[in-house]
Amino acid sequence: GAVVSQHPSWVICKSGTSVKIECRSLDFQATTMFWYRQFPKQSLMLMATSNEGSKATYEQGVEKDKFLINHASLTLSTLTVTSAHPEDSSFYICSVAGGGGSGNTIYFGEGSWLTVV
């Protein structure tokens, strides 16, 4: 069964509104989760590392005020796209590393399609 679950699978929102995407670790507690963004037929780009109980670590070029990440519990991280614009339309994927240290098994969520109109 699924180890990581994302919700919603797809969402359409109006330009200027905010939308929240949830990532849940179902089988184990995850102190760290990762958020990626994928444009159609393109690679996954790491956006940020979500750390339970502390601030997320954002990759260069990713606006932290635009993409708010909250990792309030060991099984849930949320990504909120604030004041969404059409260029934010993309496929957002979270992942969780199982176990500890390098050599983890990494599980991906099913992804969330965001369309901003």
Find the shortest distance in angstroms from Cβ 80 to another protein.
Answer: 21
Residue 37 or 84 with smaller CB distance to another protein: 37
And the tokens for 20?
């929240």
CB 114 within 8 Å of CB 8: no
Single out the residue of 78, 95, 73 nearest to residue 22, CA to CA. Answer: 78
Please give the residue ranges that form the binding site for another protein (CB under 8 A): 32, 34, 36, 41-46, 49, 93, 95-97, 101-106, 108-111
Find the shortest distance in angstroms from Cβ 83 to another protein.
Answer: 27
Residue 29 or 83 with smaller CB distance to another protein: 29
Report the C-alpha gap between 100 and 11 in whole angstroms.
33
- For tokens 């070029």, what's the residue? 61
Residue 34 or 88 with smaller CB distance to another protein: 34
